[in-house]
Amino acid sequence: MGTELLGYSERGLVNSLFYELSYKDPDGKLLGQLLDKVYFPDRKGSFKVSDVTILIEQSFSDFGDADVVLLIKNGGHNQTVFIEAKIKTNEKREWIIEDEFEKFRAGSESKKLSSSNLFTQLYHKCRLANGIAEMGVDDVASKGVLFPACSTKSPRKLGNNKIVLRAAKRVEEYPDDVCFIGIVPDKKANIKEFVDKELRPFIPKKDPNWHWSLRNWGWLSWLTIKEFCQANDLKNTLANFKHNEEQIF
């Protein structure tokens, strides 16, 4: 029967998907096709991937770990893509993106943004990318990036961990059109409705350190990923969907 590799929950499925893409499609063509399925409300253009480096569970110190970082050659540009993923878990009947955002909204008003919240995680990566672009890695490491009063820490710094700095330096080399993607267990139609009715109208409380921007934020449902795996015969990832059945979406 050979070897079957199964991983548990969100991390297991993320690992399986990107590991299988890396060995089945080393040139990144399939990855580009998957990224083209992301719903970007405010971004145009496709992904013509010719080369890719994939970082899994990479730490960025005070800015949190990233589930996935893609460093890609996209049509001649060096582009970074940050990805954060959430699942339903077996105990919940469903995961709704509006509920996750309401927790973020409440945290923004109570001086306590939860670091485990999807929107906080994407916001942290957005501020990290902005900080690297504006200040450079060395200054983000030593001086840090200022955050609003609702953040549990300000400034946030990269610190002096050599592996963290090595990853941040690589991000600095891929500065074009940086994207931030949330993989969620909600329905595709509900995601689009939520963005129009809830996310776009959101204006944070006045604070000079917010620098809130939704530019290049995108959304991808786990169902879309599963359908993509079925269409492209990604057998190991499909086995992991089966292994984690009723826990992903």
The residue type of 32 is: G
User: Is residue 238 within 8 Å of 18, Cβ to Cβ?
Assistant: no
User: Is residue 184 within 8 Å of 118, Cβ to Cβ?
Assistant: yes
Higher pLDDT, 3 or 63: 63
Distance CA 43, CA 41 (A): 6
| Cβ-proximal residues to 209 (8 Å cutoff; 6+ apart), any chain | 146, 147, 148, 149, 154
Given a cut of 90, whether residue 59 has pLDDT beyond it is: yes
Q: Which pLDDT tens digit goes with each residue over 163-201?
A: 999 999 999 999 999 999 999 999 999 999 999 999 999
Higher pLDDT, 44 or 91: 44
pTM exceeding the 0.85 threshold for the entire prediction: yes
pLDDT tier, 91 (very low <50, low <70, confident <90, very high otherwise): confident
What mean pLDDT is predicted for residues 86-105? 91
Distance CA 168, CA 56 (A): 14
3-state secondary structure of 10: helix
pLDDT at 1: 57
Given a cut of 60, whether residue 123 has pLDDT beyond it is: yes
Handedness of CA 80, 108, 85, 138 (dihedral sign): positive
